[in-house]
Chain A
């Protein structure tokens, strides 16, 4: 089975500072990778996904992530944090390519706090 590790269960930044949320996956074959965001009392919403078209993926709300095969990483970044970015963020990896079942494996999540 695939697995995902998110380093840091809590990250705090000041408004306007760089946001960096870390995600490493374990797979011998590059999978598809996803970042989701969850605002309080809501379901998960897709931020962006990597499907091998480009290693730097841009998502909604100014977030982007870079796929680095050599480091098995897919870290999420945003140049300047906003108060509205405070939420929980989940990294997820797909089944191996070729599977049609659509199962995702989620990391444990990173809670982002943004200070004024």
Chain B
């Protein structure tokens, strides 16, 4: 089975802190994605990556950056956390090659910024 793991299920940080969210997949997928999920807004794409060291902005990249140094790992970075970044963060991966390939999701990290 494809497995996508995220480093923390719950995280509490203070305003202004630098926050790292880690995601690891074990199926050699080329594509990886970071979403945030808020009630009533569904999933919104923050950043995605289709190869090592490659990244593309999604719909809401402001306040975030990403890093992909290895194929299996995709990190989301909040340079200076703010309270409006309190949310559920979901990581996903998929193989490249066709747009009919589904994405596989991790369990999510619920981040609270105080």
Mark A residues whose CB is within 8 Å of B: 9, 31-32, 34, 36, 41-46, 49, 51, 90, 94-104, 106-109
Residue of B nearest to A96 (CB): B99
- Chain A at the B interface: SS class: loop
- The closest CB in chain A to the CB of B45 belongs to A103
| Distance (whole angstroms) from the CB of B67 to the closest CB of chain A | 19
Most buried by B among A31, A90, A94: A94
- A41 to B94 CA separation, bound complex (whole angstroms): 22
A106 to B100, CA, bound (A): 14
How far, in whole Å, are A42 and B110 apart by their CA atoms in the complex? 10
B binding-site residues for A, Cβ under 8 Å: 4, 9, 31, 33, 35, 40-43, 45, 48, 50, 56, 90, 92, 94-108
Q: Closest approach, in angstroms, between the C-beta of B62 and any C-beta of chain A?
A: 18
Pair B42/A109 contact, Cβ less than 8 Å: yes
Check B96–A9 contact: CB distance below 8 A: no
Of B31, B35, B40, the contact of A102 (CB 8 Å cutoff): B31
**Which residue of A45, A46, A95, A106 is within 8 Å of B99 (Cβ)?**
A95
How far, in angstroms, from A104 to B99 measured CA to CA in the complex? 8
- Evaluate contact between B42 and A102: CB separation under 8 angstroms: no
Other 17 A-B pairs with CB < 8 A, given A32-B99, A94-B100, A97-B99 = A32-B100, A43-B108, A44-B90, A49-B100, A51-B100, A99-B99, A101-B31, A101-B96, A102-B31, A102-B99, A102-B103, A103-B45, A104-B103, A106-B43, A108-B41, A108-B42, A109-B42
Interface-central residue, A96, A99, A100, by most chain B CB under 10 Å: A100
Interface centre among B92, B101, B103, B106 (most CB of A within 10 A): B103
- Residues in A neighbouring B98, C-beta threshold 8 A: 100
B108 pairs with A42, CB closer than 8 A: yes
